[in-house]
């Protein structure tokens, strides 16, 4: 079976479990989860302000690869004895949606910050419900899964490890987003290493969180958990680089506006590389177009032409492949042979070969 087919099967299972963390209808959930109200719950308002926008986005699909990464990392390290089984295998599936829900919350807020129009082929949530609703609903997607975790039957020590993990990674995520916002606001141009660090914080964070989460639930030692995290971080960075490429060379099912990164003035790896190798005139034109933040397709195509002619696409693709290959070589040394390990290698190949 091809990796993408395996991933599609896993998506269905994750989607069923998301309902346990985020309701589609608040009335029954409120009393069951929070208990009796001191005054009155306005469940209808919560349906409109949280459930509807959240499920609008979730129902559009998405790759859902982070929960599967978490599951594979768990399976690759799981110690098959009774003490771990009671706290691991029995519980793993119901925790898989946590990182996916947080990820979708970041998308909802990111679209507001970038003034984006499309997400997964439809209008962004803030374009339908308003900025205020989108920001609040996106923030709720950070906390509702953690509320579920706090109320779960995991032992206190494991909960603490996971809370510390999520807190650390969410700090890094916001640092990465801060860098990205600052740069595409026209405030300078990062060098390649600065850009890759931003990606490690922003895109690598949730992949790293998923991998470490799986390792913690599987009972892995600190060394293995760190190795899983480093591998996943490289996958996340490579995934972002591939997104940069697909944004200007999209496949048939690309669910965002063509050339969004140009319209948003983003200093992607493609831009950074192009500015290193093109002539003064092309460099000036490229920066000028990015600073325009235009949606004019003719002007966007001019910028894309500069990027393509510079060889930046080929350079970025090679770099993404090298990152993943080197990351896999390191993880290969510390994981014992297993079916899950084989699938992790397939996963790494999927990241750099994907077309949409």
pLDDT at site 87 = 47
Contact status, residue 106 vs residue 206, Cβ threshold 8 Å? yes
Contacts of residue 262, Cβ cutoff 8 Å, sequence gap at least 6: 248, 289, 290, 294, 300, 303, 304
- Classify 258 as helix, strand or coil: coil
**Digit-coded pLDDT (tens) for 4-36:** 777 777 666 677 788 888 989 888 888 888 888
Residue 233 clears pLDDT 50, i.e. is over it? yes
pLDDT at site 253 = 54
- pLDDT over 90 for what percent of the chain? 72
pLDDT at site 336 = 93
φ and ψ at residue 286, rounded to 5 degrees: -65, -50
Contact status, residue 307 vs residue 274, Cβ threshold 8 Å? yes
Q: Where are the alpha helices (DSSP H) in the chain?
A: 3-18, 26-34, 43-46, 52-58, 65-77, 82-87, 92-95, 97-114, 125-129, 131-150, 156-184, 192-217, 222-248, 260-263, 269-277, 280-292, 297-309, 312-334, 339-353
pLDDT at site 92 = 87
For residues 247-261, average pLDDT? 69
d(CA 234, CA 11): 22
- Classify 187 as helix, strand or coil: coil
**Digit-coded pLDDT (tens) for 186-227:** 888 999 999 999 999 999 999 999 999 999 999 999 999 999
Q: How confident is the model at residue 256 (pLDDT cuts 50, 70, 90)?
A: low
Q: Taking the CA atoms of 212, 218, 222 and 224 in sequence, report the sign of the dihedral they define.
A: negative
**Digit-coded pLDDT (tens) for 154-180:** 999 999 999 999 999 999 999 999 999
Residue 290 clears pLDDT 90, i.e. is over it? yes
Residue with tokens 């003719």: 298
Contact status, residue 150 vs residue 160, Cβ threshold 8 Å? no
Contact status, residue 88 vs residue 71, Cβ threshold 8 Å? no
Arithmetic mean of pLDDT over the chain: 90
Contacts of residue 32, Cβ cutoff 8 Å, sequence gap at least 6: none
- Classify 169 as helix, strand or coil: helix
pLDDT at site 60 = 92
Q: How confident is the model at residue 84 (pLDDT cuts 50, 70, 90)?
A: very low
For residues 60-70, average pLDDT? 90
Report the DSSP pairing between strands 122-123 and 118-119.
antiparallel
pLDDT at site 34 = 87
Q: Tokens in use for 9?
A: 């099967």
Domain range 3-353, CATH architecture: Orthogonal Bundle (1.10)
Residue 73 clears pLDDT 60, i.e. is over it? yes
Q: How confident is the model at residue 88 (pLDDT cuts 50, 70, 90)?
A: very low
d(CA 220, CA 105): 28
Contact status, residue 95 vs residue 66, Cβ threshold 8 Å? no
Q: How confident is the model at residue 134 (pLDDT cuts 50, 70, 90)?
A: very high
Secondary element (H or E) of residue 123 = strand 122-123
Residue spans per domain, the chain? 3-353
Contact status, residue 300 vs residue 203, Cβ threshold 8 Å? no
The more confident residue out of 41 and 1 is 41
φ and ψ at residue 124, rounded to 5 degrees: -60, 155
Q: Which range among 7-11, 116-120, 167-171, 345-349 shows the weakest confidence by mean pLDDT?
A: 7-11
For residues 245-259, average pLDDT? 69
DSSP at 313 = H
Beta bridge partners, 69, equal none
DSSP at 337 = P
Q: How confident is the model at residue 333 (pLDDT cuts 50, 70, 90)?
A: very high
Contact status, residue 222 vs residue 259, Cβ threshold 8 Å? no
For residues 229-240, average pLDDT? 96
């Amino acid at each position: 079976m091809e990796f993408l087919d395996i991933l599609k099967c896993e998506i269905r299972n994750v989607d069923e479990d998301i309902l346990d963390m985020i309701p589609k209808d608040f009335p029954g959930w409120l009393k069951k989860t929070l208990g009796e109200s001191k005054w009155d719950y306005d469940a209808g308002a919560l349906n409109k302000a949280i459930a509807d926008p959240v499920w609008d986005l979730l129902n559009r699909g998405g790759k859902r690869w982070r929960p599967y990464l978490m599951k594979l990392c768990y399976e690759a390290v799981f110690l098959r004895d009774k003490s771990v089984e009671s706290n691991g295998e029995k519980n793993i599936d119901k925790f898989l949606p946590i990182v996916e829900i947080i990820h979708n919350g970041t998308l909802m807020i990111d679209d507001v910050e970038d003034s984006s129009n499309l997400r997964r082929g439809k209008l962004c949530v803030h374009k339908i419900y308003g900025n205020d609703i989108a920001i609040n609903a996106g923030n709720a997607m950070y906390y509702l899964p953690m509320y579920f975790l706090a109320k779960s039957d995991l032992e206190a020590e494991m909960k603490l490890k996971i809370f510390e993990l999520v807190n650390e990674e969410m700090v890094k995520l916001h640092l990465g987003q801060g860098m990205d916002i600052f740069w595409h606001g026209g405030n300078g141009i990062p060098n390649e290493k600065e850009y890759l660090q931003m990606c490690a914080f922003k895109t690598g964070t949730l992949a790293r969180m998923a991998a470490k989460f799986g390792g913690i639930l599987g009972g892995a030692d600190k060394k293995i958990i760190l190795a899983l995290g480093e591998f996943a971080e490289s996958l996340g960075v490579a995934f972002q680089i591939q997104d940069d490429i697909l944004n200007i060379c999209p496949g048939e099912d690309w669910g965002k506006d063509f050339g969004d990164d140009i319209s948003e003035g983003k200093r992607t790896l493609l831009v950074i590389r192009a500015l290193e190798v093109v002539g003064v005139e092309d460099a000036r034109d490229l920066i000028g177009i990015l600073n325009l933040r235009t949606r004019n397709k003719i002007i966007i195509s001019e910028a894309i032409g500069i990027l393509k002619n510079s060889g930046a696409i080929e350079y970025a693709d090679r770099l993404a492949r090298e990152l993943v290959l080197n990351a896999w070589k390191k993880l290969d040394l510390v994981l014992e042979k297993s079916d899950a390990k084989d699938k992790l290698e397939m996963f790494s190949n999927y990241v750099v070969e994907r077309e949409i």
